[in-house]
């Protein structure tokens, strides 16, 4: 280890800059949403924007602390950290319920949500465990052990109950997938029970997680779009049923990805690419059609149940109410938006979109900055995610890589679900948009998560294991 | 197993989701506008601001119609929660039953729309989330009493409104009144919404489109709690409400008020016109009423039926609609026509042959001036016979037909026999018979005289303004004005200017009669003598230092005492006022109509009365019960 290096050497400035950019945009957005004319001061700590600044300040302080600590301790103290998180999750169950969930530890506005920090603890624990394995040590035992690490906090979170965080924990399955720790051994065992069959691996088992994700996402989108009719402002009279819209989109997507893949892949792989894209498209279209036909074939009361669960029904007090209004806010943004502090639906004062400063924080962004602003957010997140994957892949330590992938997947899940529910592509489950949503726990946990990553990355050359 | 390639699976996941979301956002935000409409539906409210009506000023700039602030107690059913009907009824001073009834009343008042499927009118227009006036037209004091307690009754709130107010309590027949629009009017004109006011009569109705002003529309961003937050798009799409322009009348409200006081306890009317402009200075209809009786729905519903059933018909706009026989004042027009047609000259004389037509005792008229002065009936019988039977055609009947045709054209050119374009609704045109009238309509449409079945002798009574001829008091005043002008007139009108615009173009156009101006001078000389010389019939109209020219008339009334008529203008040279006075059942014109006219003239020109005795006699006279001929 070379102790001569300064603290800032090897820091990934690109990631850090995007991180700060998001923090700045986030707090500016909270200021706009929660703006109170009687308290115009940005630093008025009685207001949400003032508090958010306090949270950011505290998060940055934690970040500096993280920077000063040698990154080695996370691997060394992985188990105590994980157990501490578990302990907090147990403790929180005994706290009084807020909005029906035992999610808050502490008093009033000073509370924290242990579930947010449990993600870090789980990532570290998972890293530590996978790090301890040999590269190809994928068997039933290791897979189940890794799953137990996840299941601990997941069960406790479900007991709160907090469906959003629960779903987010499935993001670790992608990390395991990357590390070759899939459900394949279990699938293999079951398949090989059939006499005469002796596979070494199954394709479905290996790629179970991403396939599952894709199927679930596609099914959800198909269901959510099934009752919609697409209209086009520039072509009045043109109406496309939602399901055909999904199919057309799939086709276009396949076409675009085919062209891109053809362009990037070598001559040798071109036929392979064509086949993969074709199979992918046929399968996706098949799934979508199956889901749609199956859904339409359901009895009315069953349909209603699913619609209610997904928040598709007109229930003025239910989730659809929120989703419908959130979508109206997003959709009314137009190309360039209504202007800063001009959200007519998504501002806290107007209260048409509930939780617009936390779970629906994307609404005011999209309403005030329009498609241009939304696209900027998309690019920032895409940049951040790709940057983190790039960082992950340059790690020498498997622990670091698992941790980096965990961070990427957690942020991706939050991003995909949170924005998805703003645009009608995901059911309404309350999880914050990283760095944008108002709230101390998510701000601190995501910041600490990010700083640990940057610290680990900056010391990637020190690690010998 | 090498799993490095799996990074691309994850990366592709990121990118695919990013691209799908971006496309979806592009569709939602840029392509599809239904979300924008939905957002408007959720968060925007159209708030219509009804401006106060334009005010009305008299010719001296005195405000005669103004707006006064009132309050409506509004209700919005959506916001009403657990209404304690008894407590609420107590607060507004109603019975609980009335409160319950009022809810139903509002529901049904809104009416129903046709159901497009069943074609039945059963779709209520009433909407729970719209506001309706629960109690209308509360004064500031009334509202101040209940306002502090309204907080206990969510869904009820006050709203400011304005209603007409008439500081002078005069000129009701000119100004008209306003009241709430009915369902049909709402359907016909998209400007109106239920609860709006519309001009119902008089100038309020005629100038409705000016007075009502321009409604303002504010688009407001509202919160989920329905509170207004801010103007939508900083008011980019808002329009400001604009009060209607000031209506500057030609009426002199003091003269109008004086005229109304003179006509107390009399039936009849006074119309005064400024000849040089056609501006109406006063138009009194007696008996009259206080226009403030028709302010607001509550007052109107109390007073309107009462006034409507009054046997003296105070709501009847006599100056515009009463078609009286003009009587002897018609002789002035016969004189100028006869002169113009060459039927007579200034110095033509006729004997007062009472076998032709009855007359009072007076010396024979040796010229036209004397004929006017003495109002000799046989003179005009003979003069008009020369007009009608002018020898233009062969045969008695054909000649009479041609003569009457020409005569009626003259009369039309004096603004008779048709409606004047005066700026007030409900005007009538009177009647000037023409050949067609006797051929097809008189004495009845079923049994008219018929073509070439009549001659002057048949229709002779028109020569002295009796019989078929009908003239409104407004037209009589206009006769006085056109004689004062020596042969032309501006259409009488009430409005000098609308805001900063001048009068309507038609009131700037001189109407020339068919008679040359020189023929008026001898008639005017005769009119001077009527008032100012011995033997004149209107000596009571004489004024010390103003030369009044006038002509009395006595319109025969088969039902009772004759009507007293007088038209006049003054001063003789450069006339400032032309006037007609009509007093029903008041006997000869010189008795009552002439002194009233002179008082009006003096009041207008001098603003003081030189002969208090004359004024006292008029003010104290009660001619209401004189119906039968008192002998």
Q: Could you tell me the residue range of the domain that residue B26 belongs to?
A: 6-32
Q: Is B515 within a domain?
A: yes
Q: Is B199 within a domain?
A: no
How high is the pLDDT of residue A127? Answer: 93
Q: Does residue B387 sit in the same domain as residue B502?
A: yes
Q: Which residues of A touch B225 (CB under 8 A)?
A: 351
How high is the pLDDT of residue A108? Answer: 61
DSSP for B118-187, written as a single string: T--EEEE---TTSEEEEEEEE-HHHHHHHGGGGGGSTTEEEEEEEEEE-TT---HHHH--EEE--HHHHH
**Nearest chain B residue (CA) to A421:** B21
8 A C-beta contact, residue A378 and residue B36:
no
**Nearest chain B residue (CA) to A352:** B224
CB atoms within 10 A of CB B600: 25
Q: Is B315 within a domain?
A: no
Q: Does residue B428 sit in the same domain as residue B294?
A: yes
Q: Is B242 within a domain?
A: no
Q: What's the length of chain A?
A: 465
CA distances from B169 to A359, B70, B275, B493 (A): 66, 19, 27, 21
Q: Which residues of A touch B78 (CB under 8 A)?
A: none
How high is the pLDDT of residue A274? Answer: 83
Chain A to chain B Cβ contacts (< 8 Å):
152
Q: Is B44 within a domain?
A: no
Q: Chain B: nearest CA to A297, how far in angstroms?
A: 27
DSSP for B18-59, written as a single string: HHHHHHHHHIIIII--HHHHHHHHHHEEEEEEPPPPPPEE-T
> B104, B139, B164 — which closes off a domain?
B164
How high is the pLDDT of residue B504? Answer: 84
Q: Does residue B611 sit in the same domain as residue B536?
A: yes
B13 has pLDDT over 70: yes
Q: Which residues of B touch A342 (CB under 8 A)?
A: 233
How high is the pLDDT of residue B223? Answer: 65
**pLDDT tens per residue, range B410-439:** 999 999 999 999 999 999 999 999 999 999
How high is the pLDDT of residue A319? Answer: 47
A328 has pLDDT over 60: yes
How high is the pLDDT of residue A465? Answer: 45
Q: Is B405 within a domain?
A: yes
Q: Does residue B263 sit in the same domain as residue B121?
A: no
Smallest Cβ–Cβ distance between B224 and the set A335, A351, A393 belongs to: A351
How high is the pLDDT of residue B225? Answer: 60
Please, what is the average pLDDT of chain B? 87
Q: Chain A: nearest CA to B230, how far in angstroms?
A: 9
Q: Which residues of B touch A207 (CB under 8 A)?
A: 9
Owner of token pair 């040590």: A137
Q: Chain B: nearest CA to A112, how far in angstroms?
A: 29
Which B residues 359-418 touch A at CB under 8 Å? none
Residue burial A118-157, b: 16+ Cβ < 10 Å; e: rest: bbbbbbbbbbbbbbebeeeebeeebbeebbebbebbbebb
pLDDT band per the 50, 70, 90 thresholds, residue A320: low
Record: contact B32-A231, CB cut-off 8 A: yes
Q: Which residues of A touch B232 (CB under 8 A)?
A: 344
Q: Does residue B616 sit in the same domain as residue B484?
A: yes
B182 has pLDDT over 80: yes
Domain count, chain B: 3
CB atoms within 10 A of CB B514: 16
Q: Which residues of B touch A352 (CB under 8 A)?
A: 42-43, 223-224
pLDDT band per the 50, 70, 90 thresholds, residue B229: low
Q: Does residue B400 sit in the same domain as residue B527?
A: yes
Q: Chain B: nearest CA to A105, how far in angstroms?
A: 31
Q: Does residue B118 sit in the same domain as residue B258?
A: no
A3 has pLDDT over 70: no
Strand partners for B581: B270, B566
Record: contact B27-A230, CB cut-off 8 A: yes
Whichever domain contains B563, its CATH number is 3.40.710.10
CA–CA dist A48, B70 (Å, integer): 43
Smallest Cβ–Cβ distance between A333 and the set B1, B29, B43 belongs to: B29
pLDDT band per the 50, 70, 90 thresholds, residue A107: low
Strand B577-583 to strand B268-274: parallel, antiparallel, or no bridges (unpaired)? antiparallel
**Most confident among A90-99, A243-252, B226-235, B503-512 (mean pLDDT):** B503-512
Q: Is B247 within a domain?
A: no
DSSP state of B607: S
Q: Does residue B482 sit in the same domain as residue B338?
A: yes
Q: Does residue B98 sit in the same domain as residue B11?
A: no
> B126, B144, B164 — which closes off a domain?
B164
Span of A221-235, B13-27, B192-206 with lowest mean pLDDT: A221-235
**pLDDT tens per residue, range B558-589:** 777 888 899 999 899 999 999 999 998 887 77
A316 has pLDDT over 60: no
**Nearest chain B residue (CA) to A325:** B39
8 A C-beta contact, residue B334 and residue B354:
no
What is the arithmetic mean of pLDDT over A309-327? 62
**pLDDT tens per residue, range A139-167:** 888 888 999 999 999 999 998 888 889 99
**Nearest chain B residue (CA) to A257:** B16
**pLDDT tens per residue, range B357-371:** 888 888 888 899 999
A452 three-state secondary structure: helix
**Nearest chain B residue (CA) to A137:** B1
How high is the pLDDT of residue A41? Answer: 81
Of residues B245 and A429, which shows the higher confidence score?
B245
Q: For chain B, what percent of residues have pLDDT higher than 90? A: 43
Record: contact A352-B42, CB cut-off 8 A: yes
The number of helix segments (H) and strand segments (E) in chain B equals 21, 20
Of residues B201 and B536, which shows the higher confidence score?
B201
**Nearest chain A residue (CA) to B39:** A328
Strand B63-76 to strand B56-57: parallel, antiparallel, or no bridges (unpaired)? antiparallel
Q: Chain A: nearest CA to B2, how far in angstroms?
A: 8
Q: Does residue B338 sit in the same domain as residue B259?
A: yes
B534 has pLDDT over 90: no
What is the arithmetic mean of pLDDT over A305-311? 66
> B164, B184, B214 — which closes off a domain?
B164
Q: Does residue B545 sit in the same domain as residue B428?
A: yes
Smallest Cβ–Cβ distance between B17 and the set A249, A329, A416 belongs to: A416
How high is the pLDDT of residue A243? Answer: 84
The token pair at B597 is 């006219």
Record: contact A331-B36, CB cut-off 8 A: yes
How high is the pLDDT of residue B233? Answer: 65
Please, what is the average pLDDT of chain A? 84
**Nearest chain B residue (CA) to A201:** B1
What is the arithmetic mean of pLDDT over B265-269? 91
Q: Does residue B537 sit in the same domain as residue B417?
A: yes
Of residues B143 and B114, which shows the higher confidence score?
B143
The token pair at B163 is 């209603």
Q: Chain A: nearest CA to B217, how far in angstroms?
A: 18
Smallest Cβ–Cβ distance between B30 and the set A371, A381, A405 belongs to: A371
Smallest Cβ–Cβ distance between A328 and the set B7, B35, B222 belongs to: B35
A287 has pLDDT over 50: yes
Q: Is B464 within a domain?
A: yes
């Amino acid at each position: 280890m070379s102790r001569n290096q300064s603290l800032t050497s090897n820091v990934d400035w690109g990631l850090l800059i995007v991180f700060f950019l998001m923090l700045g945009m986030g707090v500016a957005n909270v200021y706009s949403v929660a703006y109170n004319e009687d308290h115009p001061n940005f630093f008025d700590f009685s207001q949400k924007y003032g508090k958010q600044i306090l949270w950011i300040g505290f998060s940055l302080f934690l970040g500096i602390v993280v920077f000063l600590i040698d990154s080695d301790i996370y691997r060394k103290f992985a188990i105590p950290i994980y157990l501490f998180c578990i302990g907090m999750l147990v403790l929180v169950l005994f706290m009084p319920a807020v909005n029906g969930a035992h999610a808050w530890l502490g008093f009033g506005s000073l509370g924290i949500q242990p579930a947010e920090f449990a993600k870090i603890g789980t990532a570290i624990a998972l890293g530590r465990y996978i790090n301890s394995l040999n590269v190809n040590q994928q068997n039933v035992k290791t897979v189940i052990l890794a799953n137990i690490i996840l299941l601990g906090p997941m069960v406790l979170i479900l007991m709160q109950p907090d469906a959003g965080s629960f779903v987010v924990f499935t993001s670790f399955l992608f990390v395991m997938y990357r590390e070759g720790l899939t459900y394949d051994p279990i699938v293999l065992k079951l398949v090989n029970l059939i006499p005469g069959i002796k596979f070494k691996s199954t394709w479905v088992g290996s790629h179970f997680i991403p396939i599952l994700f894709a199927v679930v996402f596609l099914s959800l989108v198909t269901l959510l779009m099934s009752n919609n009719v697409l209209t086009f402002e520039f072509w009045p009279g043109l109406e496309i049923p939602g399901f055909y819209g999904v199919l057309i989109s799939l086709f276009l997507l396949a076409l675009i990805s085919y062209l891109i893949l053809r362009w990037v892949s070598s001559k040798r792989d071109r036929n392979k690419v064509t086949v993969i894209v074709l199979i992918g498209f046929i399968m996706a279209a098949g799934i979508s059609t199956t889901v749609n036909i199956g859904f339409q074939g359901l009895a009315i009361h069953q349909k209603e149940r699913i619609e209610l669960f997904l928040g598709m029904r007109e229930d003025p007090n239910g989730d659809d109410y929120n989703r419908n209004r959130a979508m109206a806010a997003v959709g009314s943004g137009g190309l360039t938006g209504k202007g800063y502090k001009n959200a007519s639906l998504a501002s806290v004062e107007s209260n048409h979109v509930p939780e617009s400063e936390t779970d629906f924080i994307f609404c005011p962004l999209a309403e005030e900055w329009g498609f241009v602003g939304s696209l900027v957010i998309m690019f920032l997140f895409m940049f951040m995610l790709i940057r983190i994957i790039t960082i992950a892949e340059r790690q020498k330590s498997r622990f670091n890589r698992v941790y980096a992938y965990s961070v990427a997947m957690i942020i991706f899940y939050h991003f995909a679900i949170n924005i998805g529910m703003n645009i009608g592509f995901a059911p309404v489950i309350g999880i914050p948009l990283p760095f944008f949503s108002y709230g101390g726990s998510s701000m601190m946990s995501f910041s600490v998560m990010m700083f640990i990553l940057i610290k680990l990355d900056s010391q990637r050359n020190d690690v010998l294991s | 197993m090498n799993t490095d390639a799996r990074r691309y699976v994850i990366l592709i996941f990121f990118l695919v989701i990013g691209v799908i979301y971006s496309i979806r956002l592009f569709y939602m935000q840029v392509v599809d506008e239904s979300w924008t409409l939905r957002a408007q539906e959720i968060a925007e409210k159209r708030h219509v601001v009804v401006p106060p009506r334009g005010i009305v000023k008299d010719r001296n700039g005195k405000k005669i119609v103004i707006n006064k602030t009132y309050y409506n107690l509004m209700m919005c059913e959506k916001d009403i929660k657990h209404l304690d009907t008894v407590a609420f009824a107590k607060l507004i001073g109603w019975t609980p039953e009335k409160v319950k009834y009022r809810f139903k009343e509002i529901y049904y008042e809104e009416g129903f729309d046709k159901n497009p499927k069943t074609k039945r009118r059963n779709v209520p227009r009433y909407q729970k989330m719209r506001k309706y006036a629960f109690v209308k037209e509360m004064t500031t004091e009334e509202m101040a009493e209940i306002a502090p307690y309204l907080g206990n009754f969510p869904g009820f709130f006050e709203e400011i409104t304005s209603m007409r107010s008439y500081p002078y309590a005069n000129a009701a027949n000119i100004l008209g009144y306003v009241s709430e629009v009915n369902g049909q009017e709402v359907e016909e004109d998209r400007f109106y919404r239920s609860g709006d006011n519309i001009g119902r009569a008089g100038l309020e109705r005629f100038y409705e489109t000016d007075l009502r002003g321009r409604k303002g529309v504010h688009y407001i961003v509202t919160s989920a709690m329905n509170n207004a937050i801010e103007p939508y798009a900083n008011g980019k799409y808002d329009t400001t409400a604009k009060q209607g322009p000031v209506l500057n009348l030609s009426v002199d409200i003091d003269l109008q008020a004086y005229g109304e006081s003179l006509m107390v306890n009399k039936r009849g009317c006074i119309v005064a016109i400024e000849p040089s402009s056609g501006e109406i200075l006063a138009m009194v209809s007696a008996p009259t009423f206080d226009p403030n009786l028709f302010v607001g729905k509550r007052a109107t519903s109390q007073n309107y039926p009462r006034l409507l059933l009054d046997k003296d018909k105070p709501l009847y706009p006599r100056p515009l609609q009463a078609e009286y026989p003009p009587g002897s004042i018609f002789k002035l027009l016969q004189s100028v026509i006869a002169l113009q047609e060459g039927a007579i000259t200034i110095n033509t004389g006729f004997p007062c042959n009472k076998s032709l037509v009855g007359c009072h005792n007076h010396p024979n008229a040796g010229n036209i001036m004397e004929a006017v002065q003495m109002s000799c009936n046989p003179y005009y019988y003979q003069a008009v016979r020369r007009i009608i039977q002018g020898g233009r055609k062969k045969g008695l009947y054909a000649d009479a037909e041609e003569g009457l045709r020409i005569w009626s054209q003259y009369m039309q050119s004096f603004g008779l026999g048709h409606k004047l374009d005066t700026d007030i609704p409900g005007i009538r045109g009177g009647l000037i018979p023409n050949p067609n009238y006797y051929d097809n309509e008189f004495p009845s449409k079923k049994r008219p005289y018929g073509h070439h079945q009549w001659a002057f002798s048949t229709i002779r009574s028109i020569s002295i303004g009796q019989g078929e001829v009908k003239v409104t008091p407004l037209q009589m005043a206009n006769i006085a004005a056109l004689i004062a002008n020596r042969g032309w007139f501006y259409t009488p009108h009430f409005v000098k200017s609308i805001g900063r615009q001048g009068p309507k173009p038609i009131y700037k156009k001189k109407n020339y009669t068919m008679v040359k101006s020189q023929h008026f001078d001898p008639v005017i000389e005769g009119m001077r003598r009527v008032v100012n010389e011995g033997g004149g019939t209107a000596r009571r109209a004489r004024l010390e230092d103003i030369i009044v020219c006038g002509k009395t008339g006595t319109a025969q009334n088969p039902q009772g005492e004759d009507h007293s008529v007088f038209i006049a203008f003054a001063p003789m040279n450069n006339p400032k006022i032309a006037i007609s006075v009509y007093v029903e059942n008041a006997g000869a014109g010189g008795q009552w109509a002439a002194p009233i006219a002179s008082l009006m003239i003096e009041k207008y020109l001098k603003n003081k009365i030189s002969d208090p005795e004359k004024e006292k006699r008029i003010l104290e006279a009660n001619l209401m019960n004189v119906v039968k001929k008192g002998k």
